[in-house]
């Protein structure tokens, strides 16, 4: 660390407590924020590394990044300029990841097995995909920008900032610092280092993810560039094929190698076209499903089928063995019967009498090992976005940039034509699945229960963060955190909060009450009183779910903390009923109709938590990795995969 670095006491109202790290372009400090009280990280750009134009782009980019909401992306809270005596210098404030280790350090310390390592990697692809869906390209994905927290879960940092700083001066500096070039260029796609190409897109992140995966598995890099002149390093990246990972580790099978090599193709047209497609192929690999990275033979399909259904084959093998033993025993018995026919006849008569006596006694039940479930419905292609009604009856998905809708029994649901961009849209379904709302440039309320379905353009913010609809009541959170409500087509006065932006909103299934959450607070209204007479309750930091059922309100944060309130009316809510700490990061969750179970997905596994006791149980009947959960009207658990396979419990 440079001894000449002077640590400021304060930046933008944040009290500096130390230095986290520094590089050629920036210094990262730890700091304390007063309201809300928390530890944050502040990255300050070194003076002179930006032009006025680049500075303007930086502030615009940070504003966009502040809207990213994903458990595996470090959040950006604030941005501004700080005068360190040499003029105004941009900075931004981001989430401080406690006890964080960089990806490489984590792998060296913990040495996870291959399956755990690949599950971790799919989490990273999920974070990158989230940014891509919002039009943000990272352009600097590398192990140093992937932190692993104390739970072994990733936090992607510096998301998009490298792009916002892409000025000639920055590029020139990167090209003249050999150490920085070699350290970063290994993860840069050919189009990023080729001066002839200017239209760099999200596929450069796919390449970087492939290089990261390569290093995670082999501890080596796809190319050996150390010590090479810059022009030669660039030539090799653009012209020469990377080294096969099996050269370094022959335990990598052909499917896994094909996935890696597809991601780091020199020709971006031959790569996975999105980070989501990359992650989904990895999930196929982990689920013993044929991958997309290479042509699969009939023998491969048979092998994968046997792996997927090894429990069934084990059971069938046991049954076969028992049958064979029984048949052999029958032959022996026949031989013995020839010698002792009279004796055995007497024994049979005695046993027959005993059987008649026992016939009135019920046989004890013997638990059978549950077989893995078969999907109840499969989408024609992997969805890019997906919403399932909270009643578990209808889904809406974006497939190949088109909206599709189905009942969970596989019956297609008609949608009207809409002037809307599916991949950019925010959309939601009512509990029953008979109403839907779509927002992107235009906002539509669609009545799915009618033939043909009808649509109505409504006046709400065209860039909503989140929407909810029930019984002709529509709630929307605008980009600046204001809550907007329409009731029977009438726009009500919006609600703002003194405790910060609204993050979540939902409406009860009758369309009578509205529940919204900010950091640390919950608000409850009767629709007829909105926005007045709100009841305010203690909430959770960083809420990701709020729901109600059977006179209970449940709110959860991404770190697995659940609060449960008993609800009588907005003015009569009893004290906290339950506080549950799940000790895991929640990706997606659902509450059943009785509010007795809270199902959630963490990592690549589904769990069901008993709301009364706080005890969680892993869902073991799901054969593939789930990414989403819901409950239907019968309280059966619905799970689905990234491939669009839907499964249902027998409950």
The number of C-alpha atoms within 13 Å of 118 and in the hemisphere containing its C-beta is: 19
Give dist(CA 621, CA 371) in Å, integer: 7
Contact 289, 301 (CB under 8 A): no
Give the CA distances from residue 364 to residues 301, 322, 353, 361, 638, in Å, rounded to whole numbers and listed in that order: 41, 20, 20, 9, 31
3-state secondary structure of 624: coil
* Cα 343 from chain centre: 70
Give dist(CA 140, CA 204) in Å, integer: 9
Give dist(CA 565, CA 546) in Å, integer: 11
Max CA distance (Å), the chain: 112
Give dist(CA 260, CA 208) in Å, integer: 11
CA dihedral of residues 109, 110, 116, 119 (deg, nearest 10): -50
Residue 149 appears among annotated catalytic residues: no
452 upstream amide cis, omega within 30 of 0: yes
What the block records as the tokens of 203 is 């596929």
CB neighbour list of residue 14: distance below 8 Å, 6 or more residues apart: 31, 32, 33, 40, 42, 93
Quick one: angle between helices 275-286 and 114-133, nearest 10? 150
**DSSP codes of every residue in 112-165:** --HHHHHHHHHHHHHHHHHHHHTT------SGGGEEE-TTS-EEE-STTHHHHT
412 upstream amide cis, omega within 30 of 0: no
Which string of b and e fits 321-355 if b means at least 16 CB within 10 Å? Answer: eeeeeeeeeeeeeeeeeeeeeeeeeeeeeeeeeee
3-state secondary structure of 275: helix
- The closest alpha carbon to 585, from 563, 561, 609, 618, belongs to 561
What the block records as the tokens of 128 is 């990158």
- For the chain, the residue count is 651
**DSSP codes of every residue in 543-595:** EEEEEEETTEEEEEETTSEEEEEEEEETTEEEEEEEEEE-SS--SEEEE-TTS
Catalytic residue among 83, 140, 241, 401: 140
Give dist(CA 245, CA 260) in Å, integer: 8
Contact 58, 165 (CB under 8 A): yes
Give the CA distances from residue 94 to residues 150, 413, 617, in Å, rounded to whole numbers and listed in that order: 18, 42, 34
* Cα 26 from chain centre: 30
Catalytic center residues: 140
């Amino acid at each position: 660390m440079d001894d000449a670095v002077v640590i400021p006491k304060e930046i933008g109202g944040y009290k500096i407590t130390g230095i986290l790290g520094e590089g050629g372009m920036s210094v990262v400090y730890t700091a304390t924020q007063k309201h809300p009280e928390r530890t944050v990280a502040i990255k300050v750009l070194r003076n002179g590394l930006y032009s006025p134009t680049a500075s303007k782009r930086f502030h615009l980019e940070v504003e966009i990044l502040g809207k990213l909401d994903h458990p595996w992306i470090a959040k950006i809270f604030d941005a501004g300029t700080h005068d360190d005596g040499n003029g105004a210098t941009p900075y931004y404030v981001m989430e401080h990841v406690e006890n964080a280790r960089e990806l490489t350090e984590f792998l060296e310390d913990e040495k996870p097995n291959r399956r755990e390592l690949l599950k971790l990697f799919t989490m990273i692809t999920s974070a990158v995909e989230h940014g891509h869906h919002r039009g943000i390209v990272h352009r600097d994905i590398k192990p140093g920008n992937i932190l692993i927290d104390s739970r072994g879960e990733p936090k992607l940092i510096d998301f998009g900032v490298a792009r916002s700083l892409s000025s000639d001066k920055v590029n020139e500096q990167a090209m003249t610092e050999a150490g920085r070039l070699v350290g970063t260029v290994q993860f840069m796609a050919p189009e990023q280092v080729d001066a002839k190409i200017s239209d760099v897109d999200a596929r450069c992140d796919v390449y970087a993810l492939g290089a990261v995966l390569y290093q995670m598995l082999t501890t080596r890099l796809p190319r050996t560039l150390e010590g090479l002149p810059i022009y030669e390093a660039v030539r090799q990246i653009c012209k020469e094929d990377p080294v096969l990972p099996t050269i370094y580790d022959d335990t990598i099978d052909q499917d896994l190698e094909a996935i890696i090599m597809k991601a780091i193709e020199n020709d971006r047209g031959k790569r996975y076209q999105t980070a989501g497609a990359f992650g989904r192929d990895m999930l196929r690999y982990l689920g013993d499903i044929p991958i997309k990275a290479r042509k699969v033979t009939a023998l491969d399909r048979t092998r994968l089928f046997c792996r997927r259904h090894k429990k069934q084959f084990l059971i069938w093998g046991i049954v076969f063995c028992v049958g064979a033993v029984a048949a052999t025993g029958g032959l022996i018995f026949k031989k013995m019967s020839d010698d002792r026919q009279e004796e055995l006849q007497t024994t049979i008569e005695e046993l027959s009498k005993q059987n008649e006596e026992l016939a009135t006694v019920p046989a004890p039940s013997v638990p059978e090992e549950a077989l893995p479930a078969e999907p109840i419905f499969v989408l024609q292609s992997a969805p890019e976005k997906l919403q399932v009604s909270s009643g578990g009856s209808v889904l809406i998905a974006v497939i190949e940039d088109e909206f599709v809708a189905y009942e969970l029994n596989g019956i297609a649901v008609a949608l009207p034509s809409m002037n809307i961009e599916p991949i950019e849209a925010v959309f939601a379904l009512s509990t029953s699945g008979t109403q839907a709302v779509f927002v992107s440039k235009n906002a539509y309320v669609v009545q799915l229960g009618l033939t043909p379905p009808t649509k109505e353009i409504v006046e709400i913010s065209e860039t909503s963060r989140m929407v909810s609809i029930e019984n002709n009541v529509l709630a929307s959170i605008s980009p600046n955190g204001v809550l907007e409500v329409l009731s029977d087509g009438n726009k009500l006065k919006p609600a703002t909060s003194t405790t910060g932006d609204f993050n979540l909103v939902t409406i009860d299934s009758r369309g009578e009450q509205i529940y919204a959450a900010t950091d640390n607070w919950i608000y409850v209204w009767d629709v007829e009183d909105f926005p007045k007479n709100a009841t305010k309750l203690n909430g959770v930091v960083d809420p990701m779910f709020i729901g109600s059922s059977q006179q209970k309100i449940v709110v959860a944060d991404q770190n697995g903390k659940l609060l449960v309130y008993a609800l009588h009316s907005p003015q009569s809510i009893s004290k906290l009923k339950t506080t549950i700490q799940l000790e895991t990061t929640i990706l997606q969750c659902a509450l059943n109709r009785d509010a007795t179970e809270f199902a959630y997905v963490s990592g690549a596994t589904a769990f069901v938590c008993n709301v009364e006791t706080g005890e969680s149980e892993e869902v073991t009947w799901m054969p593939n990795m789930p990414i989403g959960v819901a409950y239907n009207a019968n309280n059966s658990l619905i799970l689905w995969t990234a491939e669009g396979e839907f499964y249902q419990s027998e409950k």
